[in-house]
Structure 1
């Protein structure tokens, strides 16, 4: 899951920066439409889509074979932990980008214009001006995404093959296969502690934001 969160942060920040700083409006509108697509799709539907797309005989491999990029014997199944990472990142990218992009759009445009007039490049504007001001929002987006990933059982059950797996799958396996409620409850407490720590960060940020507005 840490890999999913890291990739999500990288892609969401990059996409938000392109939307906020790109002078090409058609590209911005296209990206704005594309990144919102997964926002309202349920996780179980996304999991089934990814099973069809990432399987050894799935849509992705069939397209590669049709394009003569690989042979049928060279195709690989992406189901497993890689598929779980891809699914979570694709599903949560819309939510994280929406929050980060909104925070970037709310920044004072005079700061960006002043930096451009002084000759600052877009990467420098992003790293020196925009990112320091939207870091709390990035943290909130990643916290909410992490809690969401931890609560989803359908994706690791439908896409995960073998190990490593997620806590939710291990908890369900312990209960359904062995009736081992002690270990399942322990894993539940660990999950609760992780989510509680992340929720504390989110609530702290929300209270600070409300205090600044009042």
Structure 2
């Protein structure tokens, strides 16, 4: 038998599945879940916000949402902004000490302690804050018993202050975890060189470590903002009157009036606020990459 006949008798190799098709199959379950659970409800809410009961396109829902709940929108923006500022300050302080701290036992205790709120759901967080920040709550009782405050001066923090403290307490560990990981990835040689040149730890934090970890901080703050704008249990537990967070007003319109149009119009404002923040972050990231 000749070599040519042997070559023709060999079985043809099987065609391998293209990498593109294999990649699509791998991500198909995740894409399906995102489409069914997030994309389709989002599109439906956007359409409902601009349609009336007869199915005609209208802006009445958006106009009424701003006229009825404009104060609640401003209140939500103020609470979220104050919470993000407090989260950023505390996360930078904790992550900076975990990275640059000179006392090993304090670093270990802080690393073990700051993560606790990560495992507490928002509904439990709201109940804890309600018991802790009330007029006769644990915080005021401790201050009165220790003599730091007179009993007649005790006041309730179940208002915007309580919301800011509760949101910050819940989200600080999440942002700190991300930021501490980014700070730990910074080259230690940069820090050691600055320290050898006489720079203090605080200066190393703000001039060397934090600029390199800033993108991760932005990601954590954006995700925290989305969480605060979407949570319902905390504002309903801490604030009984008006103004309040938009999520409470959305639930109120649906529960008592069955008005999905105005509720979705309020949700549209939350979408827009989140989208603007994400656009700002992406613009900063692209500008930084272009200048690198």
The answer to whether TM tops 0.5 is yes
> 1:163 aligns to what?
242
Q: Which of 202, 211, 217 is the aligned partner of 1:132?
A: 211
Match of 2:159 among 62, 65, 80: 80
Residue of 172, 175, 181 corresponding to 1:93: 172
Partner Cα distance (1:63, 1:120) in 2: 40
Distance 2:242 2:112 in 1: 35
Q: Which residue of 2 aligns with 1:108?
A: 187
Pairing 1:162-201 to 2, within 5 Å after superposition: 162-199=241-278
Matched-pair contact (CA < 8 Å) for 2:135–2:154: yes
SS of the residue corresponding to residue 157 of structure 2 reads: coil
C-alpha offsets along residues 54-90 of structure 1, whole Å, 9 cap, x if unaligned?
0001111111121122232211001111111100000
Segment of structure 1 superposing worse, 47-56 or 67-76: 67-76
Deviation at 1:33, TM superposition (A): 1.2
Aligned to 2:225: 146
Instruction: Kindly tell me the number of residue pairs found equivalent between the two proteins.
Output: 208
Counterpart contact for 2:125–2:170, Cα < 8 Å: yes
Give the TM-score of the pair, scaled to structure 2.
0.67
State the Cα distance separating 1:179 from its structure 2 match: 3.6
In the alignment, the residues of structure 1 paired with residue 150 and residue 259 of structure 2 have an alpha-carbon distance, to the nearest angstrom, of 45
> Higher Cα Rg: structure 1 or 2?
2
Distance 1:144 1:116 in 2: 34
**CA–CA separation in structure 1 for the residues paired with 2:277 and 2:227:** 11
CA distance in 1, matches of 2:242, 2:152: 24
RMSD, aligned α-carbons: 2.1
State the Cα deviation string for residues 130-152 of structure 1 (Å, max 9, x = none): 11101100100101111111111
Pick one of 118, 127, 135 that aligns with 1:48: 127
Per-residue deviation, 1:178: 3.6
- Quick one: distance in 2 between partners of 1:176 and 1:201? 35
Deviation at 1:122, TM superposition (A): 1.2
Q: Which runs of 5+ in 1 are unaligned?
A: 208-214
Tell me how far 1:184 sits from its aligned partner: 1.4
Counterparts in 2 of 1:206 and 1:125: CA distance versus 1, 3 Å: closer
Q: What is the alpha-carbon distance in structure 1 between the residues aligned to residue 283 and residue 120 of structure 2? A: 30
CA offsets 1:65-119 (integer angstroms, 9 cap, x no match): 2112223221100111111110000000100000001100111001101111111
Higher mean Cα deviation, 66-75 or 89-98? Answer: 66-75
- The answer for unaligned runs of 5 or more in structure 2 is 1-79, 287-292
Alignment partner, residue 59 of structure 1: 138
Q: Normalising to structure 1: TM-score of the pair?
A: 0.90
